[in-house]
Amino acid sequence: MSAPARRRPLIAFEQSACNEDSTHASALRNTLALAQRCEQAGYHRFWVSEHHNNPAIVGSAPEILLGALSVLTSRMRIGAAGVLLPFYAPFKVAEQFSVLEALAPGRIDLGLGRSPGGDGRSFNALNPGASGDREEFEQKIRELMCWLRGETPAVQADVAGLKVLPRNPGCAQPWLLATSVAGAESAASLGLPLCFNYSAEQSVGCVEQAFAAYRQAFRPGSLGAQPYTAVMVWALAADTDEHARYLFGPRALWRTRLDDGVRAPLVTPAQAQAHSFTAAQRERIAQQMQPNLVGTPQDVMARLHQLADRVQADEIGITCWTHAPQDRIRSFELLAAAHGL
């Protein structure tokens, strides 16, 4: 008999999926409802994302959603996964997350990402004339960590005496989000916990290498004394494998449309099932079924643990989209139960 799976903490990662029959406001309210259900189910963290100009996932301001979540939840950690720091001044981000820390002491995570979070137009509108250069990104993180600790960054000597308010006994815990070996090495050099997105297309084939590089290069810092990791996976569970694949249909169709430059809300599973896919699109969907785990809760959770064991991740993150919010809630609850929470 094989040894029982290690019971790692679970992270629910929510992207505020929106369907064509609903409003963007409803999608955001569904995120709040999901957070409450995930807390009841025993999730350790609930993170919300930042995306722009994408009608299928409309969470564009995680710091605002977190303000609501600080009131609607009481036990689990809540955070951003992540704030796209190339767009913002580190001082302002430190202020925002100091406010959140004051509202929910000891429960705030600050995931940081370098992704554009949308198309090129979004990037230009949010940060005209700037770049997503990795060296600049890392420098911004160093500045941010100084502000969070109540220090003035050395490169900001002209603002000596400036303080991030409110001051709190503790501060938000930064994480670095990555989809590449280089991103994992950035987390290591900064002494930060790493959350690696296994299901991102740019992550294919490099997950083991990224985790190994992170551990090898890790340098302890003021906000991370030792390597700590999470692996994030797109995972959808239902009572039967057939029903899970049926619910995955809208996500699969959305992905094939995105390949053609179409950004649209999610259609119903019935519409996706009735869609006439080309042979190339069917092959594309089959490729999606590799990094996106779809099936019964027992099967999906077993595969999640196999992946986490392989890379020695400390926590498992789960995200999924469904057309109907109740199917998304059901998936998170089924996986929590299969995990033994």
DSSP state, residue 5: P
Q: Which amino acid is at 281?
A: Q
What does the pLDDT read at residue 5?
A: 54
Q: Is 107 exposed, middle or buried (0-12, 13-18, 19+ CB in 10 A)?
A: buried
Q: What angle do CA 84, 167, 32 make, to 5 degrees?
A: 50
Tell me whether the omega of the peptide bond preceding residue 261 falls within 30 degrees of 0, making it cis: no
Domain locations along the chain? 10-239+293-339
**Phi, psi dihedrals of residue 219, rounded to the nearest 5°:** -120, 120
CA angle, 35 then 230 then 311, to 5°: 145
If one looks up domain 10-239+293-339 in CATH, what number appears? Answer: 3.20.20.30
Q: Which residues pair with 109 in a beta bridge?
A: 79, 173
Cα–chain center distance at 264: 21
In this prediction the pTM is 0.95
3-state helix, strand, coil in the chain (%, to 5): 50, 15, 35
Provide the token pair at 29. Answer: 């309210």
Coil, strand or helix at 305:
helix
- Residue identified by tokens 């009608």 is 55
Tell me the pLDDT of the chain (341 aa) as tens digits.
344 457 899 999 999 999 999 999 999 999 999 999 999 999 999 999 999 999 999 999 999 999 999 999 999 999 999 899 999 999 999 999 999 999 999 999 999 999 766 666 777 778 776 667 889 999 999 999 999 999 888 766 677 788 999 999 999 999 999 999 999 999 999 999 999 999 998 898 999 999 999 999 999 988 888 999 999 999 999 999 999 999 999 999 999 999 888 889 999 999 999 999 999 999 999 998 999 999 999 999 999 999 999 999 999 999 999 999 999 999 999 999 999 98
